[in-house]
A and B are shown apart, each in its own frame.
Chain A
Amino acid sequence: MNLKLGHRTFTDDLPLVMAIVNRTPDSFFDQGATYAEDKAWERVRLVVEEGADIVDIGGVRAGYGPHVDAAEEIDRVAAFVGRVRAAYPDLVISVDTWRAEVARAVLEQGADVINDAWGGHDPDLVAVAAEHDAAVICTHAGGLSPRTDPFRQEYDDVVAACIETTVGLAERAVAAGVDPRSVVIDPAHDFGKNTFHSLEVTRRIGEMVATGYPVLVSVSNKDFVGETLGLPAGERMHGTYAATAITAMAGARIHRVHQVRETRHLVDMAWSIAGRRPPLRAIRGLA
């Protein structure tokens, strides 16, 4: 089935790269490097040049930190979305938020996708997305409230839990009026999960792909990579690439990342090896 992300439709033979653009002073990887508008603007320009299909703009750090209310979040992202929309009419714009009122503000500025990274915390969010014909990313956050870390959380079967939650949220989104072509599921590595859980989700991501919903994975530089390799946030890119290659090979459709150019090459190559994506241009031995 084609994937409809707001104003753009994508055929199912190509993987998509979603570039993280943080308008936060304290996100774990970039430590506020793109908090200032001019820095975020430059980041958008760079990731588009590097081959991003989607930008995912976030105004609140996922982890613990100073409280950011809805007004402040809107202030950080809404006008910026409008500016990006005007400058890049073909670019898919996603906004990472769990709040319906923030979703409404950014959709009015031209956003295409709401990345509900905290798994349906605000039940009104999907109705807002439906009103604006936007896409929704349905995540498994293990039932945690926004911005909380897991503590001794366990599952009988973490992948089964991811599927049950995300498919349930997806069905709820469709029931609320979201276009069935515009619903994406995401197991949400690290969210409500320890490192063993995230490794297992990575290993078994094909089971989520088998649900038929397009799968987004967000593994970029996360703690499960760091704990697996014993590396700090700035040194996890190779582990990230390994996890990205595994999930791309299994059919994950959207890859949410910091390193865009490398990921573009990696996921395109993995999809071509898997036989889903034709080579860009093949003449060797065929002339």
Chain B
Amino acid sequence: MPGVLALLPEYAGLEDPVADIRAACLDAVGWLGTEVTVIAGPQGRRVADHLLRTTTRTAAHPSYLVVGNGSAKRVDTSPGYVDERAIPFDDDLGSRLRAGAFSGIDADLARELWADTEAIAQLDGVVPAGCACSVDYEGDPYGVRYWVARWEW
């Protein structure tokens, strides 16, 4: 799931600008087990901790919650404006997520494109290669590419 800071209660407005993303994240986090290992940077961890606190989970299986997202330089309304490499990068990242193929993500390019992929790359060796993925949400409503995806093995 993406580390969208607007998901945090300290940034809540009267209207929720990320209502659909929030719904998808809560649904996915609620699907995790009671024992969850969070893989995320500091901001992503705050988002993950909040969503974990907000959900009730009963499944027994050990789970991972990984926070990351694609580029924030996709279009001219993106926070980082436009880098023409962003959309191909995100297309490739989306394919990797679907295929469960996490090795070889270009970390330098990700940094340049304001993509948060460090935690995603750590799934290499955790998720079995070729593991089936279901994508609950995919979009870039504010010019940043988001996915909410689940792998089960």
Interchain nearest-CB distance for A15 vs B (Å): 13
- Nearest B-chain residue to A282, judged by Cβ: B13
* A286–B4 CA distance with the chains assembled, in angstroms: 6
Interface: A1 (CB within 8 A): no
* Cross-chain contact B4 with A287 (CB below 8 angstroms): yes
With contact pairs A286-B6, A287-B72, A287-B144 given, residues A281 and B17 touching in the complex (Cβ less than 8 Å): yes
* Cross-chain contact A286 with B14 (CB below 8 angstroms): no
> Mask for B64-91, Cβ within 8 A of A = 1, else 0?
0000000010000001000000000000
* Cross-chain contact A279 with B14 (CB below 8 angstroms): yes
* Cross-chain contact B11 with A286 (CB below 8 angstroms): yes
Task: Enumerate B1-38 residues with CB–CB distance to A below 8 Å.
Answer: 4-6, 11-18
A interface secondary structure, majority: loop
* Cross-chain contact B15 with A283 (CB below 8 angstroms): no
Interchain nearest-CB distance for B153 vs A (Å): 31
Interface: A285 (CB within 8 A): yes
Q: Give the residues in chain B near A283, CB-CB below 8 Å.
A: 6, 17-18, 142
Interface: A280 (CB within 8 A): yes
Interchain nearest-CB distance for B41 vs A (Å): 16
Choose from A277, A281, A287 the contact partner of B79 (Cβ within 8 Å): A287
Interface: B143 (CB within 8 A): yes
- Nearest A-chain residue to B144, judged by Cβ: A287
Please report A residues at the B interface, Cβ cutoff 8 Å: 277-283, 285-287
24 CB contacts below 8 A, A to B, read A278-B14, A279-B13, A279-B14, A280-B13, A281-B14, A281-B15, A281-B16, A281-B17, A282-B6, A282-B11, A282-B13, A282-B17, A283-B6, A285-B5, A285-B79, A286-B4, A286-B5, A287-B4, A287-B6, A287-B72, A287-B79, A287-B141, A287-B142, A287-B144
